[in-house]
Each structure stands twice: as C-alpha cells, then as structure tokens.
Structure 1
Amino acid sequence: MFGKKSRYYGLATVRNTDRQGRIVQAVKLRRLPAAGGVETVVTDGSQLDVMSEHQYRDGARFWHIADANSELEAGELVETTGRVINVPKR
C-alpha cells in the first residue's frame, strides 16, 4: 500500500466499507507516546513546513509536529492564531 520510504510503510491497516459500498483501506490509528518539545504559539501565517525547517532543518518533517499534537489534519494545527502547539525537539 505504501512505498518502503513512506513513514506509513509496515503499519497495521484496517478495511472498511464506505456508504457507497466500496471497500477502503486505511492505516490503523496509532497511539503515540507523549512527545517532549517546545510549546509554540501559532501566529498569523504560521506554516508547519517552515516550523519544521527551523526545528529540524528539513521542511518535509512537518509530520513530526503533526504527530505530537491531537489534530488528524495537520493543516488545522496552524489555522487558529494564538493556539499553542507542541513542536518536538530533534
């Protein structure tokens, strides 16, 4: 389902039937341990890839920030100015 370089490669999957009767497959929700990090206040124009570039020197690692917080959609983390999110250390 995922390439060997994907962060989802090798994770457990589940199958379900949607409302149209199609069988869909998805990665099973992971329960992650609490991530130590820095509380960061979202400002107008905040972007996860920019935060990731600053913290990890790699903008593609934004998913580390997403995994350390409770939203299922990563982009929702930076939608609300003033929200405090956790940015894990390297």
Structure 2
Amino acid sequence: MASVRAPEDEGLEGDLEERFFRAGRAAIDEDAAEVIVLGCAGLAGLDKRLGERLGVPVLDGVACALILASGMARCGVATSKAGRYNPGV
C-alpha cells in the first residue's frame, strides 16, 4: 500500500469527482500509487471515470468485496475457525 488519502474537505461545495481526482493524482504523483481503491459505496460509478482521467486502475471497493465473497462461496470457503473466529477462544 502506497498511502491512504481522502479528498480535501470542502463541505458540500465543490465537484466530488474533481476532489477525488485531485486526491488520486496526489497519491500517484507523491506516493507512487499504481492502483486506487475507492472505499465507500457512495462513490459507485466514479471508478471508471476516475480511471480514465488518472490513467491507472481505479477499483470500486464494494464491488470488489462482493466479487470476492461470491468467489469464496462458490469455492466452499468459510471463515477460519482458528484464532479470534474460534467460538471457544
């Protein structure tokens, strides 16, 4: 992981896409990020547009989580019962 960034807080004013573009550009330029992962369901739909503008893959974190969960279910993988998920611990 190169960094964790959030857009500048401008209250309700300012273009949301532009604010995330600036945060993504800073992560790429200053932190050498090669992929951006959006971490909020409210950002659905920004991934494609931001990816085109930034020139790096931009992933919708919620969509990725759903795809991963679906794949795990199809493979019959369940939560580990070792460590903190062990009801006897």
TM-score (norm 1): 0.23
Determine which structure has more spread, i.e. the larger CA radius of gyration: 2
The answer to which structure has the higher helix fraction is: 2
